[in-house]
Amino acid sequence: MRKPERQIIPYRAKVVEPISLLPYEERVRRIEACGNNLFRLGSHEVYIDLITDSGTGALSIHQMGRMMIGDEAYAGSRSFFEMERQIRESMGYRYAIPVHQGRAGERVFDFVLIKKHMIVPGNSHFDTTKAHIEFAGGRAIDCTIDAGRTSEGYHPFKGNIDIPRLESVIREYGARHVAYILVTVTCNSGGGQPVSMENIREVRRVADQYGLLVVLDAARFAENAYFIKTRETGYAHKSVPEIVQEMCSYTDACIMSAKKDAMVPMGGFIAVRDDLLYERLKAPTILFEGFYTYGGMSGSDMEALAQGLREVTDESYLAYRIGQVRRFGELLQKFGVPIVEPIGGHAVFIDARKFFPGVPEDEFPAQLLCAELYKEGGVRAVEVGSVLIGRDPDTGENIRPNLDLCRVTIPRRVYTFEHLEYVADVIRTVFEEKGPKLRHGLRFEVEAPGIRHFASTFRYVRGADGGTGDLP
């Protein structure tokens, strides 16, 4: 009997970038100088950079080759039409508008769709998404299922929208006050959890009932499609491109940061089906981004994006990509580190409240963990929790999210598993040596308004004995 095929690594290195680790004392000095905010570090100060998978992946030789033929025409670039054609072929949307990245797409889209006091229900909105909605005068309403609000327990699709909750919110506010329904795949703020096809189909049913738009945040659409293929009944025999087509067919539009699943350093797009909506989006694109056939992207960028959309649905790539993240998460579980289960697609999310059980919630345990990982091993991760979620727009009080997470994000086609083993050892060391002992965390030194986890600074809280939250 033939043995099962081994999992293959579907690429090899052709160009490498040197990296180095600063001494411990220097790392401590530099993170303190940055106000314990890892966004303020220079890349040369970081050894293993896992702050994001956005724009940090490795380009393929085919993407590099396509960039050489980029058409830099201001209007009507050949590269734009190639990108639009590929979006139509991959996702089924009729029209595409390029933007320089996903949040630019949110800015343009929300400018057109959201009026004051309107709401956008969805599944655990990311901070920039929430901020754009609020900037336009609206309000983001989280309708994630209860299983997605805890790090424990297995549910194959923790990113799902709670359909009864969605219907209740629509009735409470009134359909005319709903700008659109947002479905984020995979759900980043909820731990990188996927959304099932059945759930997207049900969201479509609700939207049709109330005459609403369904919009896909498609940053990690291919990873979500792979989870549908491997976890949802009836999809094992379907190809990832087929699943993507069906997934998108239940939506009216998508906003995509192409720096994720299109695997480019810069770029994004809005894609729509409706002629009228497309025309309404053109003017703000010109105002905010550039002419609507380049929208802040070069011709080279658009060529690389189109090629990335072709490459990302390759199932050998997705199997290795998601498998690498899973193996890293399983290694952390072996060490006893509390993580969000099941393991998601682009990152492993550490439950910081359980990691630092003695640190008060208002002293930001996830931000504390990020600072400690840098000091211990030069690893840069990111907080996805209390700092990110911000304040209640009505009361001004800090929102306490269901989960306070440290996201350890894996760039595409960049690090080997040996790199991730090093990161796991760093996390284990902090967990074993500081996890049960710390009783204090961080407080704001300077709280940046709006998008506070990008620009705020923090200081360690001093205890009653005059010591800091850090160990002596």
The yes-or-no answer on residue 260 being catalytic is: yes
CB neighbours (10 Å) of residue 330? 13
DSSP three-state, residue 140? strand
- Burial class of 405 by CB neighbour count within 10 A (0 to 12, 13 to 18, 19+): buried
CA–CA gap between residue 351 and residue 408 (Å, rounded): 11
Residue 264 · residue 301 · CB < 8 Å? yes
Q: DSSP label at 413? A: T
The sign of the torsion formed by the CA atoms of 8, 11, 12, 18 equals: negative
Residue of 49, 110, 127, 351 with catalytic role: 127
The yes-or-no answer on residue 95 being catalytic is: no
The yes-or-no answer on residue 80 being catalytic is: no
CB neighbours (10 Å) of residue 24? 12
Kindly report the backbone phi and psi dihedral angles of residue 37, in degrees, each rounded to the nearest multiple of 5, phi listed first: -115, 115
Residue of 130, 260, 346, 434 with catalytic role: 260
Q: Please tell me the number of Cα atoms within 13 Å of 178 on its side-chain side.
A: 25
CB neighbours (10 Å) of residue 2? 4
The number of residues in the chain equals 472
DSSP three-state, residue 380? strand
Specify whether the backbone of 306 is left (phi greater than 0), alpha (psi in -120 to 50) or beta. alpha
CA–CA gap between residue 133 and residue 111 (Å, rounded): 9
Residue of 49, 110, 142, 217 with catalytic role: 217
The yes-or-no answer on residue 74 being catalytic is: yes
Looking at the DSSP bridge assignments, the partners of residue 351 are: 405
Residue of 93, 111, 126, 422 with catalytic role: 126
Residue of 74, 116, 154, 464 with catalytic role: 74
Rounding to the nearest 10 degrees, give the CA dihedral for residues 274, 275, 279, 285: 40
**What is the helix (H) or strand (E) element at residue 453, kind and residue range?**
helix 452-455
Residue of 136, 140, 218, 219 with catalytic role: 219
21 Cβ contact partners less than 8 Å away, ≥ 6 residues apart: 47, 377, 378
Question: For residue 10, is the peptide bond before it cis, meaning its omega torsion is within 30 degrees of 0?
Answer: no
The yes-or-no answer on residue 217 being catalytic is: yes
Active site residues: 74, 126-127, 217, 219, 260, 453
